[in-house]
């Protein structure tokens, strides 16, 4: 826990802090005597025990591929730039993608083996703590569709005109090797080459789009730290439109032509939603915004992919608001452990309630009282899940969303609007690009309100049963 929190804080504060901190952490070792060992094969998150890796911190991913939807064939080179956080004679990456033809650490070919999700790399020469290094992985074939514990699918999901690419919580290793846990955020560049006429839409800003010999290469640059599960390069026939928010954030939307007319009204509200949430949560955290609206009926859900949420069908206005709210809560401010998923989903759901009220619909109090929320009978099974530990099967079930949002609404009533909105803004700004825990949130809620909220959060987040008093 401590090392993961530290890593998050370090990413938020910048590389210089980590470099500065390293000698102090390594002080007991003899001067200049490296002690090599293998990096941990995961970060030890109990919900996804293989996710992430120890011994290094990824700084940047450069993902270059050519993809042919007709044959579902990908030829790819991913270059990872990372910083060793211990003396390493071996380390793991997470990868469930197609066959690897070459792997280099720096300029040197490295031996490797694959064991499930683990790609075990033996670098020679070995790596010293504090050393920045690159890993180049060349691979080709068809990336897989990945099935989650709740039986939903993600990863690399073919559509009738391309591919739909959602990654939460374990989809990115389908198509890019890396460190697949939200505690290891990094910047990304994508170079995606597809048949002319198709569009490859990645996170961040479009740097270039160039067609040579019937194939178009799109270069996307995601300039703020991003968790791997939020990465996407979704490919298909798209109607592309560019606009901007009133405060000048560029917006890039890609909409499947068959969904264009039914999605138009929702897409038109993206600037309003960003401005409204900016007024509540503080400035939009990224250099660009947008949306990808595609037809992927087997996926059936939307995901808050960073800067460009992806929708597997035409979204409702509320769903659009939910995914945009995640840009602050979930994307910029990230989890440290998946069991705290309510920090993503409860916040995005409550933001959606506030948007609904702002847009002339039900008030947050009415939504709180409704039959899908506090109006549920006390005998409902809904009340029997612990909000801060729903388990990997139910982490995207209704409890982290609805009970999470109810928790925030009840907190607002408990501490008052002034403290509540100060807390929301502080949470988004103080932890921008970092990682957080439920304990962090409780601490800040108490600090901002000046109240002892131990019982309140115990009733709402830890205890089972329908809260009666808090």
- Residue 348 CB, shortest distance to Zn ion, in Å, is 4
Residues from 109 through 128 that contact Zn ion (CB under 5 A)? none
- Residue 345 CB, shortest distance to Zn ion, in Å, is 5
How many whole angstroms separate alpha carbon 430 and alpha carbon 435? 10
The phi and psi torsions of 109 (rounded to 5 degrees) equal -60, 135
DSSP assignment of 427-468: HHHHTTTSEE-HHHHHHHHHHHHTS--HHHHIIIIIS-S---
Q: What is the CA radius of gyration of the chain?
A: 22
Q: CA 258 → CA 161, 238, 293, distances in Å?
A: 12, 9, 10
Residues from 161 through 190 that contact Zn ion (CB under 5 A)? none
- Among 15-23, 151-159, 346-354, 446-454, which window interacts with Zn ion (CB under 5 A)? 346-354
- Among 198-206, 347-355, 380-388, 435-443, which window interacts with Zn ion (CB under 5 A)? 347-355
Site size with Zn ion, rule: CB under 5 A: 2
By the rule CB under 5 A, 341 interacts with Zn ion: no
Cis peptide before 125 (omega within 30 of 0): yes
| Residue closer to Zn ion, measured from CB, 348 or 415 | 348
| Residue closer to Zn ion, measured from CB, 10 or 302 | 302
- Token pair 């990304």: residue: 188
| Residue closer to Zn ion, measured from CB, 194 or 320 | 320
Bridge partner list, 61? 80, 188
In residues, how long is the chain?
470
Residue nearest to Zn ion (CB): 348
By the rule CB under 5 A, 348 interacts with Zn ion: yes
How many whole angstroms separate alpha carbon 113 and alpha carbon 92? 10
Which residues contact residue 317 at a Cβ distance below 8 angstroms, ignoring those fewer than 6 apart? 265, 266, 269, 355, 359
Taking CB under 5 A as the rule, which mask of x and - marks residues 74-93 in contact with Zn ion?
Answer: --------------------
| Residue closer to Zn ion, measured from CB, 233 or 348 | 348
- Residue 319 CB, shortest distance to Zn ion, in Å, is 9
| Residue closer to Zn ion, measured from CB, 348 or 399 | 348
- Residue 423 CB, shortest distance to Zn ion, in Å, is 20
- Residue 347 CB, shortest distance to Zn ion, in Å, is 9
Residue 166 has, within 13 A of its CA and on its CB side, a CA count of 28
Instruction: Give helix 417-430 / helix 438-449 axis angle, nearest 10°.
Output: 130
- Residue 301 CB, shortest distance to Zn ion, in Å, is 9
| Residue closer to Zn ion, measured from CB, 50 or 345 | 345
* Site residues, Zn ion (CB under 5 A): 345, 348
């Amino acid at each position: 826990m401590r090392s993961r929190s530290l890593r998050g804080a370090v990413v938020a504060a910048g590389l210089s802090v980590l470099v500065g901190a390293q000698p102090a952490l390594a002080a007991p070792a003899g001067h200049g005597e490296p002690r090599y060992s293998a990096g941990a094969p995961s970060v030890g998150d109990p919900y996804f025990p293989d996710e992430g890796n120890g011994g290094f911190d990824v700084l940047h991913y450069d993902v270059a591929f050519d993809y042919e939807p007709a044959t579902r064939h990908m030829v790819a080179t991913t270059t990872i730039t990372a910083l060793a956080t211990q003396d390493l004679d071996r380390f793991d990456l997470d990868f469930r993608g197609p066959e690897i033809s070459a792997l280099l650490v720096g300029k040197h070919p490295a031996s490797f083996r694959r064991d499930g999700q683990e790609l075990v790399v033996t670098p020679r020469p070995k790596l010293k703590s504090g050393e920045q290094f690159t890993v180049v992985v060349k691979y080709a074939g068809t990336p897989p569709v990945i099935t989650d514990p709740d039986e939903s699918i993600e990863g690399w999901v073919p559509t009738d005109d391309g591919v739909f690419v959602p990654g939460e919580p374990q989809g990115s290793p389908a198509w890019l090797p890396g460190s697949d846990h939200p505690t290891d955020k990094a910047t990304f560049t994508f170079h995606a080459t597809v048949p002319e006429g198709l569009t490859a839409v990645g996170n961040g800003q479009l740097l270039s789009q160039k067609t040579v010999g019937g194939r178009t290469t799109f270069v996307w640059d995601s300039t703020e730290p991003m968790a791997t599960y939020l990465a996407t390069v979704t490919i298909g026939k798209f109607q592309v439109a560019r606009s901007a928010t009133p405060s000048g954030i560029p917006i890039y939307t890609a909409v499947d032509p068959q969904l264009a007319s039914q999605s138009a009204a929702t897409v038109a509200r993206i600037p309003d939603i960003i401005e409204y949430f900016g007024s509540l949560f503080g400035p939009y955290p990224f250099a660009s915004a947008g949306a990808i609206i595609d037809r992927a009926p087997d996926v059936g859900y939307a995901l808050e992919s960073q800067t460009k949420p992806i929708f597997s069908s035409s979204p409702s206005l509320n769903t659009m608001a939910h995914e945009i709210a995640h840009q602050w809560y979930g994307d910029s401010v990230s989890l440290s452990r998946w069991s705290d998923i309510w920090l993503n989903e409860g916040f995005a759901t409550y933001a959606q309630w506030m948007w609904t009220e702002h847009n002339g619909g039900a008030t947050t109090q009415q939504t709180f009282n409704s039959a899908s929320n506090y109006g549920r009978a006390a005998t409902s099974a809904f009340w029997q899940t612990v909000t801060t530990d729903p388990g990997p099967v139910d982490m995207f079930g209704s409890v982290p969303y609805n009970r999470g949002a109810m928790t925030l609404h009840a907190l607002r009533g408990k501490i008052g609007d002034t403290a509540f909105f100060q807390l929301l803004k502080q949470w988004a700004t103080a932890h921008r690009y970092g990682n957080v825990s439920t304990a962090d949130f409780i601490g800040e809620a108490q600090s901002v309100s000046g109240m002892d909220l131990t019982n309140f959060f115990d009733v709402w987040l830890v205890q089972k049963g329908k809260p009666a008093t808090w």
